[in-house]
């Protein structure tokens, strides 16, 4: 292969192929990484079982009533947790030298990042399907239609593509994967709990309710409840999309800027 015959820059088609190869790599590595498998499959199911059977009766009067309230919220929480994994995986690539290897190859510059995010979308879809499936085994029933389920998948993926940039930013800034974990625990964990995913807003102290009502986690959970259980859909979906747009506009440029500075 002669160097001069090569294009000066990889084309868009080559870039998409690179992205697919790197997405394949992310998915194959799950097979060898039991921790990630745990995060993607066991943890959401465990949350669902624990909350439904220990708190369900106290909060909603019965486990079956609680299930229809909590499942949409747990879907959202799981999406956020799983998306934050992008940060950990990206940081591991950066600190372990995998990223430098990739950058030394004649591939599209954006492919490594795009590959990670593409793989994440597949993982998300898997988690959502799994949670819905297990929920149904426990007695959860979709009260709307097939379109409600499709809309849920769509909204989750749009939302996770937007917050993925937060994960990318944290992954790029952190000096080691452990620090990303600390961010997860200190910021993401409280963020998902100070919402209405596990308990109704009205049951919380007045001062907290102000935050809970505008927390994007609450809004997306309400949208998913509407799409799966029935009830208002348009308002929470539009608000969710606005939040997603907000995350994208603020964090995507920041993440790309820090990313370029680091690599």
Is 166 one of the binding residues for another protein (CB under 8 A)? no
Is 102 one of the binding residues for another protein (CB under 8 A)? yes
Q: How far is the CB of 157 from another protein (least distance, A)?
A: 24
Return the half-sphere exposure (C-beta side, CA atoms, 13 A cut-off) of residue 178. Answer: 0
Binding-site member from 42, 49, 103, 141 for another protein (CB under 8 A): 103
Is 230 one of the binding residues for another protein (CB under 8 A)? no
> ∠ CA 82-85-86 to the nearest 5 degrees?
110
Is 260 one of the binding residues for another protein (CB under 8 A)? no
Residues from 1 through 40 that contact another protein (CB under 8 A) = 1, 3-4, 6-10, 14, 17-18, 21-22, 24-25, 28-29, 32-33
Nearer to another protein (CB atom), residue 28 or residue 249: 28
How many residues interact with another protein (rule CB under 8 A)? 35
> By CB under 8 A, which span of 46-54, 94-102, 155-163, 191-199 interacts with another protein?
94-102
Nearer to another protein (CB atom), residue 104 or residue 203: 104
Q: Max CA-CA distance within the chain?
A: 72
Q: Which residues does 186 contact at the CB level (< 8 Å), separation at least 6?
A: none
> By CB under 8 A, which span of 76-84, 100-108, 121-129, 159-167 interacts with another protein?
100-108
Binding-site member from 46, 49, 53, 100 for another protein (CB under 8 A): 100
Phi, psi (deg, nearest 5) at residue 174: -65, 145
Tokens at residue 15, please? 């870039």
Nearer to another protein (CB atom), residue 4 or residue 234: 4
Binding-site member from 98, 122, 138, 241 for another protein (CB under 8 A): 98
Nearer to another protein (CB atom), residue 34 or residue 57: 34
Binding-site member from 45, 70, 107, 164 for another protein (CB under 8 A): 107
Q: How far is the CB of 17 from another protein (least distance, A)?
A: 8
Q: How far is the CB of 121 from another protein (least distance, A)?
A: 19
Q: How far is the CB of 37 from another protein (least distance, A)?
A: 11
Tokens at residue 151, please? 């809309």
Q: Which residues contact another protein by CB under 8 A?
A: 1, 3-4, 6-10, 14, 17-18, 21-22, 24-25, 28-29, 32-33, 93, 96-98, 100-107, 111, 261-263
């Amino acid at each position: 292969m002669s160097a001069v015959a090569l294009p000066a820059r990889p084309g868009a088609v080559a870039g998409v192929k690179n992205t697919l190869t790197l997405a394949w790599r992310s998915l194959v590595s799950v097979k060898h990484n039991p921790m990630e498998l745990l995060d993607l499959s066991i943890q959401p199911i465990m949350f669902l079982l624990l909350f439904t059977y220990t708190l369900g009766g106290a909060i909603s009067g019965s486990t079956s009533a609680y299930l229809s309230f909590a499942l949409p919220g747990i879907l959202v929480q799981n999406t956020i947790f799983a998306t934050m994994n992008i940060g950990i995986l990206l940081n591991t690539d950066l600190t372990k030298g995998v990223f430098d290897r990739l950058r030394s190859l004649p591939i599209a510059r954006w492919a490594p990042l795009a590959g990670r995010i593409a793989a994440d979308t597949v993982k998300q879809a898997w988690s959502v399907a799994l949670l819905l499936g297990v929920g149904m085994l426990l007695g959860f029933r979709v009260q709307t239609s097939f379109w409600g389920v499709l809309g849920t998948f769509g909204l989750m993926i749009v939302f996770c593509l937007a917050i993925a940039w937060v994960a990318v930013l944290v992954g790029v800034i952190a000096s080691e994967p452990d620090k990303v974990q600390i961010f997860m625990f200190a910021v993401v964990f409280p963020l998902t709990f100070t919402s209405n995913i596990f308990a109704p807003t009205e049951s919380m102290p007045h001062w907290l309710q102000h935050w809970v009502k505008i927390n994007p986690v609450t809004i997306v959970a309400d949208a998913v409840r509407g799409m799966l259980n029935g009830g208002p859909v348009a308002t929470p979906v539009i608000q969710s999309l606005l939040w997603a747009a907000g995350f994208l506009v603020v964090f995507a440029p920041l993440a790309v800027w820090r990313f370029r500075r680091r690599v």
